[in-house]
Structure formats: structure tokens, C-alpha cells
Amino acid sequence: MSKNNTVLTIPSPGKFELVEQPYPSVKPGYAIIKTEIAPVCLEGSRIWSSHDFEFHDDPCHLGHEGVGTIEQVDDTSSFNVGDRVIVFQGDHCGQCFSCRNNMSPTYCDWNDPDIQGVDKAALRGIEFRNSSESGGFAMQKYRIAPLANLYKIPDDVSFKHAAACNCSFGVGFSNQEIMDVKAGDTVLIGGIGFISMGHVISALYRNAKVIAL
């Protein structure tokens, strides 16, 4: 019996449904991840409350953060079926300026709708490049992820804690890496939402002084 992919959809404001779509197909350089946790970012709350879509208007294409277990991967990869992984959003061409300079995959040209077009950029582009009818987004039982965007979760870290490594904690941590925040520095944080709390945690981890407004 062939597998299907269970997908969360918001067909109208304030209404959730689960729909069945074809199991994802993948090409070399990508893996299929069985989703364990897909956190809700600001985009999800806007779609839920008012169908306010940012880059597209497809209610089946929801979520970009997530953690899970590798379900299918190329034998030549350093990853294995069963590995627990964090999935960082977006795609990775390996050729643009950002990719060549080891910048975050979120800066890759493949994630820019002004360059690729809305239907071929970012997570929708993942489905397009894999000729897949599902799997590009996080709020699905099975999602497609570029190998370059996967990070193995240490054995002593739970899925629940690893899931924070995307927007809620990862944004602040990576920004402070770029800023080279050091012990004794002062970090000013304006507006304390879930992303800013990640900045607070990251700054305290670096033994910096925090001023939070």
C-alpha cells in the first residue's frame, strides 16, 4: 500500500483541516523528513486569524520551522535514515554569492521570489525542483529538506528543545554570532516577543549585559 502525505490546511480563517496528498518525491541533494514538531511562526497566526498570506495564497502550504526524523535519503549522503534533525528553512543552490560564501541558506537566490518567481522560490521551489506534489512545507507529515539545511540533533537534546533552534532562538543566536557579541558587551533589545527572547538568552549565554525594553 502506497504512502500518502497528511497535510495541515487552513481553508478559511479560524478553521483547520487535514488533507491527504501524494507522498513526496525527492532528487539527490534532498531528504524526506518525518515531522515531529513544526512550530507556529507569525505567518501561521496571520493565516489562521485572517488568511493573510505573505508570498502565496495556498492554505496547504504552511510552516517553515521544524524538526523530525530522516525517512528517506540518498545512500551517498552523510545522513542516514533514522537520524534526528533540525530543518532550517529555504533551499540551497550552492552557486550564488551567499552559498559560495557560506552564508545562511535563507539568503540563497533560490529563496528570493523576485529572482525565481513566487511559484519557484523558497519552499514552493523545493517542491518544484523535486517534481513533487507535496512536502515543501513544515506542517506536513513528510517534508522535503535540502541536505545543506539539515543539522543532526545531539542525543541529549529533545525534539521539543531542538525545535527552538529555528526562529525563536536561532535568529538571535545567529545574529549575535555575526555581531561577535562578547562577554562584557551591552546588548539593547527593543520589544520582547518570542524572537527577542532568543536574543536575551543568547546574550546571557555570552555573558553580555542585556537592556530589554
The string of pLDDT tens digits covering residues 38-67 is: 998 767 677 777 777 666 667 778 888 999
Q: What is the dihedral of CA 24, 26, 29, 32, to 10 degrees?
A: 30
Would you say 7 and 139 are in contact if contact means Cβ atoms under 8 Å apart? yes
- The C-alpha atoms of residue 44 and residue 63 are separated, in whole angstroms, by 7
Would you say 147 and 126 are in contact if contact means Cβ atoms under 8 Å apart? no
Does the structure show a pLDDT above 70 at 91? yes
Sheet of strand 30-37: strand arrangement = 142-146, 30-37, 66-73, 84-87, 150-152
- The C-alpha atoms of residue 103 and residue 126 are separated, in whole angstroms, by 19
Does the structure show a pLDDT above 60 at 169? yes
Work out the pLDDT band at 2, boundaries 50, 70, 90.
low
Q: Which of 145, 141, 144 is nearest to 4 (CA)?
A: 141
**What domains appear along the chain, each with residue ranges and CATH number?**
4-165 (3.90.180.10), 167-212 (no CATH)
Would you say 208 and 185 are in contact if contact means Cβ atoms under 8 Å apart? yes
Residue of 192 and 71 predicted with greater confidence: 71
The string of pLDDT tens digits covering residues 172-198 is: 998 999 899 999 999 999 988 888 999
- The C-alpha atoms of residue 203 and residue 52 are separated, in whole angstroms, by 33
Residues 6+ away with beta carbon under 8 Å from 135: 5, 24, 26, 32, 126, 127, 142, 143, 144
The pLDDT score that the predictor gives to residue 47 is: 76
pTM above 0.85, yes or no: yes
- What are 117's strand-pairing partners? none
